[in-house]
Amino acid sequence: MRDPRINQLAEVLVNYSTRVKKGDIVLISASGFEAAPLVKELYALCLKKGAKYVEYDFSLPEVNRLFYNTASKEQVSWFPQHKLDFMKQVTVFIAISAADNSMVMANANQANMIAYSRLLRPIQDWRVKHTRWVVTRYPTHGGAQEAKMSLEEYEDYVFSACCIDWAAESRKQDKLKKLMDKADRVRIKASDTDLNFSIGGLPGIKCDGRFNIPDGEVFTAPVRDSVEGYITYNCPTIYQGKEFCGIRLEFKKGRIIKAECTGMNEELNKILDSDEGARYIGEFAIGVNPGIRRPMRNILFDEKIFGSIHFTPGQCYDECDNGNKSAVHWDMVKLLSGDGEIWFDNKLIQKDGLFVPKELSCLNPED
């Protein structure tokens, strides 16, 4: 029997996130064949909405790994111009990840991965700047195992975090954005964490289901050279197929001057040395999705955990440009529930994972 929640998710992606309309050129890109049921629903719905053309493609992480490990320098440096040419015609882009093994890239050739990411950057930049795009996840056995749930429990968790009233959530986020827009100095205090930085002049940006599903964060960026102090992240993070736990970063004048991770110091610092911008912060965000309450080792979910922040080394977003450019954008998550404070200009905004000001209480989960 077909799960009706798959159709509900497709409705969110097509009708709310990307607002597909008559005449659109749509590209549905799925990583992993297990996403096929959602691809089918999306394809049918886009046609029903009057899209002029709908293309879909599937990629396999195992094949991508083969490329990174065996491709020659010439092959890694060949730019797929046909992909950029087609992307310039696309008006709607929907990406689905249904990978069944997040560790598939753990032993892939990192140098080739970094080089190819840089090579393909123009395609990603065009897609981000010129299409109505959204990225989502589809529940798989592998994802459930990493979240330490049964597949049924994981499906319930994923769909409950995705299929919500995003218009209502957007209105709630307005209140946090308003405070963020007015703030200059930010301080984050928690166990082995004491950060000070400025966000003055940089806007707060709502993440209300337009580009990520699930969504649920309000972000800005620090003034590039303003970050001082240290932070220890207590949420596992997977980057380039490797898992990092307990990353600790120290900052001076905005730059990461010391980076540690038990058993992974070399790998961590190699990524942060990818380019100059990788050692500066491109994003500061507060997670507010009421349906996401614990880590799943999946960054699209983990960065939205209610009662969390992420403080991201690398590339900033165009909507909140602090001048930092990098091939890296690494969302590292700090959970503050039960231990942590967020201050804006000496005003306590959040304590132990719950918002304190009355005007922000609507964001706190009801349970």
List of domains in the chain = 4-162 (3.40.1830.10), 166-363 (no CATH)
Question: Would you say 304 and 287 are in contact if contact means Cβ atoms under 8 Å apart?
Answer: yes
Strands (E), the chain: 25-31, 53-59, 92-97, 132-137, 185-190, 193-198, 205-207, 212-213, 217-220, 228-232, 237-239, 242-244, 248-252, 255-260, 281-287, 308-313, 333-335, 341-344, 347-351, 354-355
Q: How far apart are CA 42 and CA 7, in angstroms?
A: 8
Tokens of 46: 């886009």
Q: Is the peptide bond before 295 cis (omega within 30 degrees of 0)?
A: no
Amino acid at 168: A
Q: Within a 10 A sphere around the Cβ of 27, how many other Cβ atoms? A: 21
Question: Over the chain, what is the mean pLDDT?
Answer: 94
Q: How far apart are CA 69 and CA 108, in angstroms?
A: 6
The H helix count followed by the E strand count for the chain is 12, 20
Judge whether residue 204 has pLDDT over 80: yes
Q: Is 112 helix (H, G, I), strand (E, B) or coil?
A: helix
Q: At what angle do helices 121-130 and 110-119 cross, to 10 degrees?
A: 50
Arithmetic mean of pLDDT, 205-225: 96
pLDDT in tens, 268-303: 999 999 999 999 999 999 999 998 988 888 888 999
Sign of CA dihedral 126, 170, 331, 297: negative
Q: Output phi, psi for 146, to 5 deg.
A: -65, -35
The per-residue pLDDT for 297 is 82
C-alpha of 141 from chain center: 21
**pLDDT confidence of 248, banded at 50, 70, 90?**
very high
Q: How many residues does the chain have?
A: 367
Arithmetic mean of pLDDT, 159-188: 95
C-alpha torsion 270→273→277→283, nearest 10: 30
DSSP code, position 328: -
String of DSSP letters for 188-208: EEETTEEEEEE-TT---EEES
Q: Nearest-5° angle of CA 113, CA 213, CA 35? A: 65
Tokens of 309: 């922040």
**pLDDT confidence of 234, banded at 50, 70, 90?**
very high
Judge whether residue 107 has pLDDT over 90: no
The per-residue pLDDT for 1 is 66
pLDDT in tens, 323-353: 999 989 999 999 999 999 999 999 999 999 9
Judge whether residue 367 has pLDDT over 80: no
Judge whether residue 170 has pLDDT over 80: yes
The per-residue pLDDT for 294 is 86
Q: How far apart are CA 247 and CA 193, in angstroms?
A: 11
Tokens of 224: 């590039």
List Cβ neighbours of 194 (8 Å cut-off, separation of 6 or more).
187, 188, 229, 230
List Cβ neighbours of 63 (8 Å cut-off, separation of 6 or more).
none
The per-residue pLDDT for 196 is 97
- Radius of gyration of the chain measured on its C-alpha atoms: 20
